[in-house]
């Protein structure tokens, strides 16, 4: 696979095709994921839960994120690497710039952070300094204590309109990508069609330009009950490589996510 860039992803969106995104946190899985056809690797602060055993993403630190981003970069074979800015590392544009620079030096090509239009100044600051932004909207796990749990966002008309306007404002500020998590499918479709940059969905229906899952979830090895939007791709595969290849094929053929993985308005 040729090296994937933001230009590649924009062309995929323009052609009304799909690309696959998956998390990875180490060199070995980065190699497997990138050679299975996954265009984007997300080094998510989800590592705080799936690797460290915490009950939320909040304990993950910038040092944790840099370490795992470095590991992923060493194993990666051409996928675009997005890395998360963890909890309270982007509270001001200055802090965001300092910590985003650490992730970029570690091997990230895009940094992701959670929030709404209040991040416009941060997006502009990073863009001026050559750092592309991916903004995470909808269910933002770092705000789990504000939401009172992991709940679908944007079901009420006003909340949906606010999220749509946030996306437009953030694109205008210079955001290169969006992630939409746990939002009703009609809203995700409206946002995807309203912005010119690629939108990655998780629990956001089939209309987004890409899908992302946590690697451990799609391999069926995460303990406890799986979220509604997860499919175990190991169930019908004889190897991890085959499971990931099946995930990529399902995303690109639009057979995943199916109706049972979506949230309605």
Q: Is 84 among the annotated ligand-binding positions? A: yes
Mean pLDDT of 56-61: 96
Task: Give me the half-sphere count of Cα atoms (radius 13 Å) on the Cβ side of residue 184.
Answer: 14
Instruction: Taking residues 172-190, report their average pLDDT.
Output: 98
pLDDT at residue 68 tops 90: yes
For residue 149, pLDDT over 80 is answered with: no
pLDDT of residue 101: 98
Mean pLDDT of all residues in 204-214: 98
181 is catalytic: yes
Residue 126 CA, chain-centre distance (Å), reads: 18
Q: Long-range contact list for 94-101, CB < 8 A, 24+ apart?
A: 94/125, 96/122, 96/125, 96/126, 97/122, 97/125, 97/126, 97/129, 97/131, 99/62, 100/126, 100/131, 101/129, 101/131
Among 200, 222, 205, which Cα is nearest to 20's? 200
Task: Read off the pLDDT of each residue in 198-224 and give the average, rounded to a whole number.
Answer: 97
Residue recorded with tokens 């932004």:
133
| 21 or 264: which leads in pLDDT | 21
Cα distance from N-terminal residue to C-terminal residue, the chain: 38
What is the reported pLDDT for 100?
A: 98
User: Higher pLDDT residue, 150 or 77?
Assistant: 77
Residues 12, 32 contacting (CB under 8 angstroms): no
Q: Is 145 exposed, middle or buried (0-12, 13-18, 19+ CB in 10 A)?
A: exposed
pLDDT at 208: 98
Higher model confidence: residue 35 or residue 1? 35
Closest CA to 75 of 232, 215, 239, 176: 215
Q: What is the mean pLDDT of the chain?
A: 96
Name the pLDDT band for 143 (thresholds 50, 70, 90). confident
pLDDT-derived band at 235 (thresholds 50, 70, 90) equals: very high
Catalytic residue selected from 39, 171, 181, 262: 181
Q: Are the C-beta atoms of residues 101 and 107 closer than 8 Å to each other? A: no
Query: pLDDT per residue over 83-133, tens digit each?
Result: 999 999 999 999 999 999 999 999 999 999 999 999 999 999 999 999 999
Residues 191, 196: Cα–Cα separation, whole Å: 10
Cα–Cα dist 220/234, whole Å: 7
More confident residue, 68 or 150: 68
Query: Is 215:248 a contact under the CB 8 Å cutoff?
Result: no
What's the pLDDT score for residue 259? 94
User: Is 46 annotated as ligand-binding?
Assistant: yes
Tracing tokens 């690497």 back to the chain, one arrives at 81
- What residue spans of the chain are helical by DSSP H? 6-14, 27-35, 47-50, 62-75, 93-106, 120-128, 144-147, 157-173, 185-194, 215-218, 240-252
Residue 150: per-residue pLDDT:
74
Query: How does residue 227 score in pLDDT terms, banded at 50, 70 and 90?
Result: very high
In order of their start, the domains of the chain are: 6-261 (3.20.20.60)
Helix (H) or strand (E) holding 210: strand 210-213
- Which of 79, 138, 135, 140 has its CA nearest to residue 112? 135
Average pLDDT over residues 236-261: 97
pLDDT at position 151 is 83
């Amino acid at each position: 696979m040729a090296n994937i860039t933001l230009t590649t992803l924009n062309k995929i969106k323009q052609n009304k095709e799909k690309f696959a995104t998956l998390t990875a946190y180490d060199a070995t899985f980065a190699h497997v994921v990138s050679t299975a056809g996954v265009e984007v690797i997300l080094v998510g602060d989800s590592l705080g839960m799936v690797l460290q055993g915490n009950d939320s993403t909040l304990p993950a630190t910038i040092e944790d994120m840099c370490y795992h981003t470095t590991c992923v970069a060493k194993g990666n074979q051409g996928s675009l690497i997005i890395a998360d800015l963890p909890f309270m590392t982007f509270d001001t544009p200055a802090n965001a710039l300092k910590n985003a620079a650490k992730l970029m030096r570690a091997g990230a090509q895009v940094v992701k952070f959670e929030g709404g239009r209040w991040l416009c100044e941060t997006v502009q600051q990073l863009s001026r300094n050559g750092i592309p932004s991916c903004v995470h909207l909808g269910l933002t796990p770092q705000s789990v204590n504000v939401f009172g749990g992991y709940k679908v966002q944007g079901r009420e008309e006003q909340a949906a309109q606010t999220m749509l306007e946030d996306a437009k404002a953030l694109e205008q500020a210079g955001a290169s990508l969006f992630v939409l998590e746990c939002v009703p499918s009609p809203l995700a479709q409206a946002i995807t069609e309203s912005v010119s940059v690629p939108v990655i969905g998780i629990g956001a229906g089939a209309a987004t330009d890409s899908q992302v899952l946590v690697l451990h979830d799609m391999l069926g090895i995460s303990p406890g009950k799986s979220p509604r939007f997860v499919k175990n791709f190991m169930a019908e595969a004889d190897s991890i490589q085959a499971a990931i290849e099946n995930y990529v094929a399902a995303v690109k053929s639009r057979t995943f996510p199916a109706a049972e993985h979506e949230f309605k308005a």
